[in-house]
Amino acid sequence: MGAAIAVTPWLTGATLGLGAVNTGAGIAQANSAAKAQENAMRAQAEQQRQLLQHQYATEARRRDDMLERAQARARVSFGSRGLSPTDGSAGALLDSIETQAGTEAADARSLFDWRLSGLDAGLASSLARIDDRRSDLLSGAHRTLGQVNQLLRWRKGMSLS
């Protein structure tokens, strides 16, 4: 019976030691997977950012072209009536077209900024969740290693007795 009692702490220590090694390997693997996931999320967010920037630039060019065409049509119309584009109502109409285009451009910029902000917030939230999982994993590993250390101290005390 005495031999069984003497072997039990050693087996328990070995089991916990192997558990600690497995925990360490699991942490490294999970950390590597988390880093890969972070990199993939960042790359996807960057692609979405570039797509939004491209869409915004394309829309801005379209608005500018429409403004130029609208102003050109108005000038032709005024010219065919013998009016100067700077005279009274003709000038007011051209100013109105330009003001409306400026408002539309400001609205488009606001929408673009809002979309980018949402993209950034989504990425930050996803990265925070990954960090939380990583912290939980490290806390669990720390507890396991603490238990192994405690058992080793207990075992050392048993062998001194």
Which pLDDT score, from 0 to 100, does residue 78 have? 84
> Is the entire prediction scored with pTM above 0.95?
no
Give the start-to-end residue ranges of the domains of the chain.
2-160
CB 5 within 8 A of CB 159: no
Please, what is the Cα angle at 15 between 13 and 16, to 5 degrees?
65
pLDDT digits (tens, 9 = 90+) for 69-91: 999 998 888 888 887 877 788 88
Percent of the chain with pLDDT over 70: 83
Angle, CA of 111, 115 and 118, to the nearest 5°: 140
What are the pLDDT digits (tens) for 130-156?
A: 888 888 887 877 787 777 777 777 777
How many Å from the N-terminal Cα to the C-terminal Cα in the chain?
A: 17
Torsion angle, alpha carbons of 59, 65, 66, 69, to 10: 180
Rounded Cα gap, residues 153 and 69, in angstroms: 85
Alpha helix positions (H), the chain: 2-80, 88-160
